[in-house]
Structure 1
Amino acid sequence: MRALILSDIHGNLEALNAVLAAAGSWDALWNLGDVVGYGASPNEVVCKIRSLAQLNVRGNHDRVCCGLASAVGFNPVARAAAMWTHDEMTEENRDWLGQVPQGPVSPEGLPGIVLAHGSPLNEDQYILTMRDAWGPLQQSGTEITFIGHTHLQGGFCQHNEEWRDFRPGYKSCNEFESWTLSLAEETRYLINPGSVGQPRDHDWRAAFAIYDSEAKTVTFNRVPYDLTSAQGRILMAQLPEKLALRLREGR
């Protein structure tokens, strides 16, 4: 079984379209949350994910943009984008986002896998360091947990007393590129596919991952997309200019 794993699309239609075109064939699409927020195409992105995803977990921006939570904890730029997104979305799309479950959720027939947004222990937790990863790896009880939220592609793993982190090793900055992780036996993983719509690892390309249950691999991918159009949509919507500029910077 091949699962296409997406996270943190953040209303970036151009990046999502590039990912779907580059992903090839897949059996299921798993969405790890934050479909909206920041980007200027919330309705188009929600409609695509609604039609394609077999499993969804909500993100913190999804929660705020559909009205389930307040934007008080957001910085001014994120708050402005969330309020615009709430008003821009159709009632049908807001209602759908409001019904997306909180993680963790498990794919049917794959008991060793869990999907979450921030962490299987707390949907809003940022797992940035090994210190952050220690609790979820110890307490999740599953072999593989796919997470998003940080917008950083890579992850953490634990085998007996050995702990390590990993990041894809890419050689270019403007082309489609892949990096494959072979999953070891008796090892627990926290794996982040990266952000489709707003990467923060200084690589502007859209990020995604493919999990292959038969090959026991996770293939990380980066794909260029029509950045100028995505930036133009943000500016035309009169969203904060910073949201357009940071797309080029990948941060």
Structure 2
Amino acid sequence: MRALILSDIHGNLEALEAVLAAAPPHDAVWNLGDVVGYGGSPNECVAVMRDRSDASVRGNHDKVCSGVMPATHFNPTARQAVEWTMGVLTTESRTWLEAMPQGPLSPPGSSSLISHGSPAGEDIYVLNIRDAWGTLQASEHRVTLFGHTHVQGGFHALGSQWLGFQPAHRNGSSKWILPLNTDGTRYMVNPGSVGQPRDGDWRAAFALLDEESNELTFYREPYDLARAQGRILMAGLPERLALRLREGR
């Protein structure tokens, strides 16, 4: 199984199209949630992922923008983006978002697990090894894939040894390979955010998991940033949402 891992697209059609155009050959597409929210192309991103994804779990923005739960716990900027997104979503888009499973789940034909936040709760951020420790110790899956933090990288553990890692995209390199040990090491891996990275690199982030060759490859891909920013501004969304795309924060 060679799975293309996408997470946190957040309505950024330009980033999503660039990622799909650059993606290496794969057998399946796994969506880790937050297809909408923040960006100016929610319906377009839903349409692409509805057609392309083979396994999906919902994100916190997906469930709020589709009306599954209120946005009372969101900050004012995120809440404004939610209200705009709810107002422009088509019935078809909203229905698809509502139907996405909560996760975690194991995609068909795979030994891995996918979730939006922590498998313990989709709204829980996994920011450090302490957050990851429980899953790494208890999981029956060698690889657990998650998003939500918008930071590409992850954690691994073998017995009492647990470490974090972050891809080294030196000199603007587009990929970084993580060999997956077969000695009982367990991994929690975040492919990064397609549409709104927050790790200091503005380029769209994604990953490819090859379960046969035991490799996970992290990628970064440039996209038409100005056009994505323009869609946000033309929608009347907060200027901060456009500016932060350039900052990668």
- When the two structures are superposed, what TM-score results if normalisation uses the length of structure 1? 0.97
- Kindly report which structure 2 residues correspond to 1:131-142, keeping only aligned pairs within 5 A, or say none: 131-142=130-141
Pairing of 1:69-218 with structure 2 (within 5 A): 69-110=69-110, 112-173=111-172, 177-185=174-182, 186-218=184-216
Map Cα deviations across residues 21-78 of structure 1 (whole Å, 9 max, x no partner). 1102211000000000000000000000000000000000000000001011000000
For the residues of structure 1 that align with 2:17 and 2:177, how far apart are their CA atoms? 22
C-alpha deviation, 1:140, in angstroms: 2.4
**AA partner of residue 187 (structure 2):** Y
- Which secondary structure does the structure 2 equivalent of 1:179 belong to? strand
Amino acid at match of 1:12: N
Partner in structure 2 of residue 22 of structure 1: 22
Q: For the residues of structure 2 that align with 1:199 and 1:172, how far apart are their CA atoms?
A: 18
Task: Give the 3-state SS of the residue equivalent to 1:172 in structure 2.
Answer: helix
The answer to whether the 8 Å contact 1:32/1:56 transfers is: yes
One-letter code aligned to 1:118: G
> Is the 8 Å Cα contact of residues 3 and 29 (structure 1) preserved in structure 2?
yes
Q: Which residue number in structure 2 is paired with residue 10 of structure 1?
A: 10
Structure 2 residue matching 1:10: 3-state secondary structure: coil
2: distance between equivalents of 1:150 and 1:218? 19
Query: How far does residue 138 in structure 1 lie from its aligned partner after superposition?
Result: 1.8
Cα deviation code 1:99-153 (max 9, x no counterpart): 000010101222x310000011111110001111111212222111000000000
CA RMSD in angstroms, aligned pairs only: 0.8
SS at structure 2 position matched to 1:62: helix
Q: Which runs of 5+ in 2 are unaligned?
A: none
Name the counterpart of 1:231. 229
SS in 2 for 1:195: coil
> Which amino acid is the alignment partner of residue 99 of structure 1?
A
The alignment partner of 2:45 has SS state of: helix
Q: Specify the code of the residue in structure 2 equivalent to 1:245.
A: L
- Residue identity opposite 2:72 in structure 1: V
Secondary structure in structure 1 of the residue aligned to 2:171 = coil
Q: Is the 8 A contact 1:30 1:56 kept in 2?
A: yes
TM-score by length of 2: 0.98
Q: CA deviation at 1:160?
A: 1.6
* 3-state SS in 1 of match to 2:246: helix
Corresponding position of 1:38: 38
Structure 2 SS opposite 1:189: strand
Residue type at the aligned position of 1:31: N
Structure 1: which amino acid aligns with 2:62?
D
SS at match of 2:170: coil
Gaps of 5+ in 1: none
Matched-pair identity in %: 60
Secondary structure of the 2:29 match is strand
Q: What's the offset of the Cα at 1:10?
A: 0.1
Please say if 1:220 is aligned against 2:214. no
Matched residue type, 1:146? L
Structure 2: which amino acid aligns with 1:68?
V
Q: Is the 8 A contact 1:177 1:222 kept in 2?
A: yes
Match of 1:55 in 2: 55
Q: Does structure 2 conserve the Cα–Cα contact (< 8 Å) formed by 1:120 and 1:140?
A: no
Q: Which residue does 2:243 correspond to in 1?
A: 245
Q: What SS class does the counterpart of residue 3 from structure 2 fall into?
A: strand
